[in-house]
Chain A
Amino acid sequence: MGKSSKDKRDLYYRKAKEEGYRARSAFKLLQLDEHFHFLDNVTRVVDLCAAPGSWSQVLSRRLFDESTSDTSSKRIVAVDLQPMFPIDHVTTLQADITHPRTLNKIMELFEGEKADFVCSDGAPDVTGLHDLDEYVQQQLILSALQLTTCMLRKGGVFVAKIFRGRDIDMLYSQLGFLFDRVVCAKPRASRGTSLESFVVCLGYNPPAHWTPKLDVNASIEDFFQGCDIGRLTLDDKLPSYTEEPRDIAEFLSCGGLGSFDSDATY
Chain B
Amino acid sequence: MVQLDYLSHYGPSICVKFFERFVLAGYGPFIHVYDYKTGELLNIARIFNRNKVHGISVKGDHILAYGARSLSVITIQNVLEQRTLINFEKNCHEWIIDAEFSASGESIFLLTSYNKVICCSLDGTVDGIKAVFGERSILYSGSIKVFDDERVYVNAGTVMGGVIIWDLFSEEKIYNFTGHEGSIFYVTLSDDGKYIATCSDDRSIKLWNMDTGELMSTAWGHTARIWNLQFFDNDKKLVSVSEDCTCRVWDIMDNGVVKQRDAYEVHLTKNVWGVDVQSSEMIAVTSGNDGTLKLTDLKPLDRNGDEVHVFLRNDFELDGLKLEVGEIFKGFFWLKFGLIAVTSHGQVLRYNQITSRWNAVLQDEKLSSYTMTSGVQDIDTVVFCNNNCDLILMKFQRGNGHLLSKVSLHVEEISKCTNCLVAFEENRLLVTLESPKPSDNFLCLQFDVDSLEMCNKYQWKKPSGFFSSSLCVWNDYLIVGSKLGSMFVFTFSNPQYDALMLRRLCPGDTITSVKFVETLPNGESLFSITNRDGYYLFLSINVPERRYKIVHSNKISKGFLEGAFYNEDGDYIVYGFKSDHFYMFNETKQFEIMSELCGGAHRQWKLFKNFIPGEYVLVYVKAGNIHLRRVHQRNIPQTLVDGTHGREIRDLSIRGSHPYRNGYLFCSASEDTTIKLAVFERESGIIKNFWTQRKHTSGLQRCKFISDKYMISSAAREELYLWELNTQFSTGPYMNLLKELPPSSKNPDLRIMDFDYKMLDNGNFLLATVYSDSAIKVWIYNSKTNEFNLLIQGRYETCCLLNVALIHLHERDILLVGPTDGHLVYWDISKYSLFHFSEVANDQEGAEESHLLPKYDGRILVHKAGIKDLAVRVTSGACFKAYTVGDDNAVAISTFSLNTAGFVSGAVSCLEDRGGASTITSLDLIEQSDKLITTSVDQNVRVYDISSDGLILELKTYTTIADTGCSAVLNESDKAFLLIGGVGLSVAKLTKLR
Contact = CB atoms under 8 A, between A and B. Distances in A.
A125 B92 contact: no
B554 interface: no
Contact of B938 (A100, A139, A168, A260): A168
Given A166-B937, A166-B938, A232-B91, A238 B890 contact: no
Interface in A126-160: 127-132, 135-136, 139
B798 A261 contact: yes
A69 interface: no
A183 B133 CA distance: 38
A192 B124 contact: no
Interface string B948-961: 00000000000000
B136 A99 contact: yes
A264 B918 contact: no
A21 interface: no
Contacts of A67: none
Contacts of A164: 917-919, 937-938
B51 interface: yes
Contacts of B69: 232
A71 to B, nearest CB: 35
22 contacts: A99-B136, A125-B201, A127-B185, A131-B51, A131-B962, A165-B937, A192-B887, A195-B918, A219-B94, A220-B114, A234-B92, A236-B126, A238-B90, A239-B91, A246-B917, A251-B865, A251-B890, A253-B864, A263-B799, A264-B774, A264-B798, A265-B773
Contacts, number: 177
B821 A261 contact: yes
B89 interface: yes
Nearest to A170: B917
Interface in A107-126: 124-125
Interface string A225-261: 1000001111111111110001010011100010011
In the A-B complex, list the 3 residue pairs whose CB atoms are closest, starting with the nearest: A164-B918, A219-B114, A261-B799
Interface residues of B, number: 85
A168 B887 contact: no
Interface string B907-934: 0000001101111000000000000000
A186 B822 CA distance: 13
Contacts of A265: 749-751, 772-773, 800
B938 to A, nearest CB: 6
B865 A237 contact: no
Given A131-B962, A252-B864, 9 more contacts: A164-B917, A169-B938, A217-B134, A234-B92, A234-B118, A234-B126, A248-B889, A253-B888, A265-B749
Interface in B75-122: 86-87, 89-95, 112-114, 116, 118, 120
A61 to B, nearest CB: 27
B973 interface: no
B939 interface: yes
Contact of B800 (A136, A139, A263): A263
A205 B126 CA distance: 34
B140 interface: yes
A166 B68 contact: no
Contacts of A218: 136
A172 interface: yes
Which of B91, B225, B227, B890 gathers most chain A CB within 10 Å? B91
A78 to B, nearest CB: 20
Interface residues on A, range: 35 or more
A129 B14 contact: yes
A34 interface: no
Given A164-B917, A186-B887, A265-B751, A232 B93 contact: yes
Given A165-B937, A195-B937, A253-B822, A128 B289 contact: yes
Interface of A: 96, 98-100, 124-125, 127-132, 135-136, 139, 164-166, 168-169, 172, 184, 186, 192, 195, 216-222, 225, 231-242, 246, 248, 251-253, 257, 260-261, 263-266
A241 B70 contact: yes
B772 A264 contact: yes
B34 interface: no
B748 to A, nearest CB: 10
A192 B125 contact: no
Interface in B799-816: 799-800, 802
Contacts of B112: 219
Interface string B874-910: 0000000000000111100000000000000000000
A241 B963 contact: no
A142 to B, nearest CB: 11
B738 to A, nearest CB: 27
Contact of A166 (B123, B802, B821, B939): B939
B270 A128 contact: yes
B717 to A, nearest CB: 11
Given A99-B137, A263-B799, A129 B91 contact: no
A236 B799 contact: no
B685 interface: no
Interface in B270-309: 270-271, 273, 289
A192 B820 CA distance: 7
A253 B865 contact: yes
A150 to B, nearest CB: 16
Given A130-B983, A164-B917, A98 B124 contact: no
Interface string B443-466: 000000000000000000000000
A129 B799 contact: no
Given A100-B136, A192-B887, A195-B919, A263 B866 contact: yes
B716 to A, nearest CB: 9
Contacts of A239: 90-91, 124
B554 to A, nearest CB: 27
B138 interface: yes
A221 B94 contact: yes
A101 to B, nearest CB: 9
B469 to A, nearest CB: 42
B160 interface: yes
B794 to A, nearest CB: 16
A54 B597 CA distance: 53
Contacts of B865: 186, 192, 251, 253
Given A125-B183, A172-B917, A219 B136 contact: yes
Interface in B129-149: 131, 133-134, 136-138, 140
B989 interface: no
B91 A264 contact: no
B963 A130 contact: yes
B140 to A, nearest CB: 7
B675 interface: no
Contacts of A172: 917
A100 B135 CA distance: 10
Interface in B228-258: 243
B49 interface: yes
Contacts of B919: 164, 195
B52 interface: yes
A213 to B, nearest CB: 14
Contacts of A260: 798
A213 B866 CA distance: 42
A136 B138 contact: yes
Contacts of B136: 99-100, 216-219
Nearest to B70: A241
Nearest to A128: B271
Contacts of B821: 257, 261
A167 B400 CA distance: 70
A128 B290 CA distance: 12
A191 B203 CA distance: 31
Given A128-B271, A264-B774, A264-B798, A251 B90 contact: no
Contacts of B126: 234-238
Interface in B471-525: none
A191 to B, nearest CB: 9
A215 B94 CA distance: 17
Nearest to B51: A131
A263 to B, nearest CB: 4
A251 B889 contact: yes
